[in-house]
Amino acid sequence: MIAEAAAIGLDDLGVLRIRGADAARFLQGQLSNDVTRLAAGGSLLAGVHNAQGRAIAIVRLVQAAAGDILAVLPRELIPALLPRLARFVLRAKVQLADDSASWRIQGLVQADAPDALAIKWADAPARWLALSAAGAAPAASEAGATAQRAAWALLDIASGLPQVYPRTSEAFVAQMLNLDVLDGIAFSKGCYTGQEVIARAHYRGRVKRRMQRWRTLAGAALAPGDSGQLGDGRNFRVVEAAQLPDGRCEFLAVAALDPEMPTAPAEPDGEPDGAARSPLAAEPLPLPYALPT
């Protein structure tokens, strides 16, 4: 467990900085959420998608200043994402840069917003990402960093928060990661890359597989991108996973919502067929939000 007011170093996260007079307008054409909702002191969850509506990355935006937006995401995704976004700059007055080295990112567990540039991360318990200059002193002790980082991941899983990593980039359509339930998609905004597929899935109600939460019944080691089959026959692919102290694993994975159709062939969304593996004994756990049926 993470104690109240604990600070966890999140060195695996990085910062993609978008600066210029057209920063917000540029992002509006690239992200699934409505960037006009981003205000000073606030934050926004959004996805970056390819033309097929599959998530390349999930980002958290925070406005550092007028015309200066920071996108927080796994550091290892930035080298591939940066040139991909740069192709769409054209004549826009915007500069993109990997600014990870300039920032210290910490996860804070506390009720009130920290006295720093911060992103509201989750509720129950209330959690924040605090961004400070790389040379600044930590907000609090980061002792036991590895254990604390695993505990933070378990809280993310309990909160039903998806993340995308190199092994799962472009594997899932936005709704499979529950971005619509988490207010990460604006269906009323203008065009953005992948919008047609995402909107069609929404209005036709054809999302048959979504991210759900489980806990293994025995010791297991799972990682994002791993695939397999559940005891009821449903194929799954791991989105996020973290081990418990007793060796069991809690994980978020995309699987069919209907257990009555568990062995249907995988659709071409990047989810491998796990039917060849021995079934994984795991119990379903609740999410803090309801999934559309």
Residues 106 and 179 occupy one common structural domain? no
169-183, 193-207, 256-270: segment of lowest average pLDDT = 256-270
Query: How many structural domains compose the chain?
Result: 2
Per-residue pLDDT band at 261 (split at 50, 70, 90): low
Residue 11 in domain:
yes
Q: Does the structure show a pLDDT above 50 at 271?
A: no
Residue 156 in domain:
no
Residues 138 and 11 occupy one common structural domain? yes
Residue 159 in domain:
no
Residues 22 and 131 occupy one common structural domain? yes
Residues 11 and 136 occupy one common structural domain? yes
Domain of 130, CATH number, reads 3.30.70.1400
Residue 251 in domain:
yes
Sequence-ordered strand ranges (E) for the chain: 7-9, 13-19, 43-49, 55-65, 68-74, 95-98, 103-109, 117-122, 127-133, 209-216, 227-229, 235-243, 249-256, 282-285
Are the CB atoms for 243 and 150 separated by under 8 Å?
A: yes
Residues 107 and 205 occupy one common structural domain? no
Residues 178 and 138 occupy one common structural domain? no
Residue 149 in domain:
no
Residues 115 and 25 occupy one common structural domain? yes
Torsions phi, psi of 131, nearest 5?
A: -110, 125
Residues 121 and 201 occupy one common structural domain? no
Mean pLDDT of the chain: 90
Residues 55 and 183 occupy one common structural domain? no
Residues 179 and 258 occupy one common structural domain? yes
Q: Does the structure show a pLDDT above 70 at 274?
A: no
- What are the DSSP calls for 147-194, one per residue? HHHHHHHHHHHHTT-----TTTTTSSBGGGGTTTTTT---TTS---TT
Per-residue pLDDT band at 11 (split at 50, 70, 90): very high
Last residue in a domain, options 143, 166, 195: 143
Residues 128 and 202 occupy one common structural domain? no
Are the CB atoms for 159 and 225 separated by under 8 Å?
A: no
Residue 158 in domain:
no
Domain of 213, CATH number, reads 2.40.30.160
Omega before residue 125 within 30° of 0, cis: yes
Per-residue pLDDT band at 6 (split at 50, 70, 90): confident
Are the CB atoms for 122 and 159 separated by under 8 Å?
A: yes
pTM of the model: 0.91
Residue 169 in domain:
no
Are the CB atoms for 132 and 101 separated by under 8 Å?
A: no
Measured CA distances, 17 to 23, 57, 64, 97, 170 (Å):
10, 15, 10, 5, 22
Q: What single letter denotes the amino acid at residue 26?
A: F
Measured CA distances, 100 to 103, 105, 120, 255 (Å):
6, 9, 19, 34
Q: Which domain holds residue 15?
A: 7-143
Neighbours of 60 (CB within 10 A): 18
Side-chain half-sphere CA neighbours of 178 within 13 A: 25
Residue 258 in domain:
yes
Neighbours of 232 (CB within 10 A): 13
CA angle in degrees (0–180, nearest 5) for 172-120-216 = 50
Residues 95 and 191 occupy one common structural domain? no
